[in-house]
Structure 1
């Protein structure tokens, strides 16, 4: 039997499975809803399970938001815009996203950006400073960093080399 094939399970078993998942790492409501929909459960049952997971603190959107931002900033070197965009795609309320982003100082984003751009600069084959500048800016913007912080960091890096 294909383990990814949809199958029907009881409400209690679905709750236990999701509680076990949530105990191992953070999940948002949308992630859990997608996982539960694979078990051919009614929307009412899914809502009931999610409400119970929230009531028992297995799902906490604010905690998820903080954890997501921390991981994406430290490990993936994402900027504010990309983090915010991804969290909004996961249907996290904008107020929670804004509050969670405020917990991370600008210095953390700037350090992350500088590390990212210094590593990227080593891989750029161009001799022209103008072309290097353009490639670094485009790379940083693609990672979700703001234009003003990107420009300042690129100038610092190129003037110090």
Structure 2
């Protein structure tokens, strides 16, 4: 059985600061981490305010890194990124602002890479079922249905 050790404000702040220093975090992630520690009730909010004051937590910086990582690293589309950020309780305005800043040419290029990579794993897409499989895959990665359909139809015509 785990023994309960109550942390002082300084110790709890230090743990939270270390957690934030390791990688960018949003408020919701830090609150969740702090909820696992046995803290006095008012400590959590005070710690979060102090982390923000000392720039350990910066929602805009977190979102910017998150969008960059998921778009360029994981090849997620805007819809999947938006859903993930909403789950982390990020404001809609901030999410929309950052998604609007994504370069459309880069976005289309990433979509094309996703579609091409999946297409290489499928037999030639000469029948509608295989074409739908390709479309559904790209949509599941968070890309907009209209853009995916347009790209797949465009590539279909080019063969």
- TM-score, reference length from structure 1: 0.90
Gaps in structure 2 of 5+ consecutive residues: none
* 1:25 aligned onto 2:10: no
**Residue 54 of structure 1 is aligned with which of 41, 52, 55?**
52
For 2:32, the equivalent position in structure 1 comes to: 34
Residues 5 and 38 in structure 2, CA contact (< 8 A), matched pair in contact too: yes
Q: Following TM superposition, by how much is the alpha carbon of 1:17 offset from its aligned partner in structure 2, in angstroms?
A: 1.7
Whole-Å Cα distance in 1 between the matches of residues 92 and 5 of structure 2? 35
For 1:98, the equivalent position in structure 2 comes to: 96
SS of the aligned residue for 1:8 comes to coil
The structure-2 alpha-carbon separation of the partners of 1:117 and 1:6, relative to structure 1 and needing over 3 Å to count, comes to farther
Gaps in structure 1 of 5+ consecutive residues: none
Runs of 4+ in 1 over 4 A off after TM superposition: none
Whole-Å Cα distance in 2 between the matches of residues 118 and 63 of structure 1? 32
Aligned residues: 159
Equivalent residues in 2 for 1:64-75, closer than 5 Å: 64-75=62-73
CA RMSD, aligned part only?
1.9
Q: Following TM superposition, by how much is the alpha carbon of 1:7 offset from its aligned partner in structure 2, in angstroms?
A: 4.8
Q: Following TM superposition, by how much is the alpha carbon of 1:159 offset from its aligned partner in structure 2, in angstroms?
A: 3.2
**Residue 111 of structure 2 is aligned with which of 95, 110, 113?**
113
Equivalent residues in 2 for 1:115-154, closer than 5 Å: 115-125=113-123, 128-154=126-152
Residues 26 and 59 in structure 1, CA contact (< 8 A), matched pair in contact too: yes
The structure-2 alpha-carbon separation of the partners of 1:7 and 1:101, relative to structure 1 and needing over 3 Å to count, comes to farther
Whole-Å Cα distance in 2 between the matches of residues 102 and 134 of structure 1? 28
Q: Following TM superposition, by how much is the alpha carbon of 1:29 offset from its aligned partner in structure 2, in angstroms?
A: 0.3
